[in-house]
């Protein structure tokens, strides 16, 4: 996951270099930047869905660790991380090298039916990255859920729901709060971009694969606290290509199979 996000962050940095040069007065991102953010958004959402599928199929939170990006060598099995009082397993890792500081702080809860099938996956927490792989440093934080206290009023985790036929997982749907915030500096000018993910009827069949979702994703966003007049919308159609639109601009987005 870290390498996947790292490659996508390069695209975002490059895109951000032209983000303030758009000639379309009604848009606060140029089309290239919107496309790069869209690709990053779909890949991150595909990644967490794939992780939830792995957890559901194996009945164990640690089976999805690598997809989530949590790579702690101390976590060998689910037994190494007993759940907290709310039933969540706490998964943490940090990775630091010359060009990248990467961290994951995730809480995951699995709910099983009487047959032992995982029917609900709840998660909240953050995946963060600070990179200096170009001359323009960038800080990215991906947040799942709308808080850190499951007992708080109004708390909502990101939620995956599964469908089973006998002992075979046949589908997964997902919804809930997800957001991304990037802060980058170009020529000593700092730009903060905030995106909120809104899923509608987002679901995927699960077969021998690869599988692709159906539904839609809307990205509401702001740049330096200025709210965009246009949302980014992404339409999934159960194929390996999704379609994004931003105002009068449209483009195709390749998808990694779930």
pLDDT band at 232 (very low <50, low <70, confident <90, very high): very high
- How far is Cα 91 from Cα 224, in angstroms, rounded to an integer? 32
pLDDT band at 116 (very low <50, low <70, confident <90, very high): very high
Confidence check: pLDDT of 210 > 60: yes
Q: Is 8 left (phi over 0), alpha (psi -120 to 50) or beta?
A: alpha
Instruction: Find the distance separating the first CA and the last CA of the chain, reported in whole Å.
Output: 14
Confidence check: pLDDT of 234 > 50: yes
Which residue in this structure is represented by tokens 């159906």? 214
Parent domain of 240: 2-254
pLDDT tens-digit readout, 123-147 = 999 988 887 666 677 888 989 999 9
Mean pLDDT estimate for the chain = 84
Longest dimension (CA), the chain: 59
- How far is Cα 38 from Cα 40, in angstroms, rounded to an integer? 5
Burial grade of 98 (CB within 10 A; 0-12, 13-18, 19 or more): exposed
pLDDT tens-digit readout, 7-34 = 445 445 444 444 444 445 578 888 988 9
Count of domains observed in the chain: 1
Of 91, 87, 127, 90, whose CA–CA distance to 110 is shortest?
A: 87
Q: Is 226 left (phi over 0), alpha (psi -120 to 50) or beta?
A: beta
The predicted pLDDT at position 73 comes to 52
The CA-based dihedral angle spanning residues 116, 118, 120, 123, taken in that order and rounded to the nearest 10 degrees:
120
Which residue in this structure is represented by tokens 């809930």? 176
| Contact indicator for 174, 199 with CB cutoff of 8 Å | yes
DSSP class per residue in 81-103: S---TTSPEEEEEEEE-SSEEEE
**What is the β-pairing status of strands 232-237 and 158-165?**
unpaired
């Amino acid at each position: 996951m870290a390498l996947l996000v790292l490659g996508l962050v390069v695209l975002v940095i490059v895109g951000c270099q032209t983000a303030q040069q758009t000639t379309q007065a009604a848009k606060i991102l140029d089309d290239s930047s919107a496309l790069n953010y869209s690709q990053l958004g779909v890949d991150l959402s595909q990644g967490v869905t794939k992780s939830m599928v792995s957890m559901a199929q194996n009945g164990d939170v640690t089976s999805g660790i690598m997809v989530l990006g949590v790579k702690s060598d101390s976590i060998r099995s689910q037994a190494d991380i007993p759940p907290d009082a709310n039933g969540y397993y706490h998964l943490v890792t940090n990775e630091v090298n010359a060009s990248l500081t990467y961290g994951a702080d995730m809480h995951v809860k699995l709910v099983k039916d009487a047959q032992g099938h995982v029917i609900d996956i709840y998660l909240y927490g953050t995946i963060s990255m600070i990179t200096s792989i170009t001359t323009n440093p960038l800080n990215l934080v991906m947040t799942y859920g709308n808080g850190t206290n499951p007992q708080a009023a109004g708390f909502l985790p990101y939620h995956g729901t599964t469908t089973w036929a006998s002992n075979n997982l046949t589908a997964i749907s997902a919804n809930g709060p997800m957001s991304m915030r990037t802060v980058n500096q170009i020529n000593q000018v700092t730009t903060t971009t905030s995106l909120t993910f809104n899923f509608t009827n987002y679901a995927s069949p699960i077969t021998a694969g690869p599988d692709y979702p159906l539904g839609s994703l809307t990205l509401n966003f702001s740049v330096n606290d200025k709210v965009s007049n246009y949302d980014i919308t992404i339409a999934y159609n159960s194929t390996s290509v999704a379609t994004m639109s931003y105002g009068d601009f449209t483009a195709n987005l390749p998808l990694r199979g779930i």
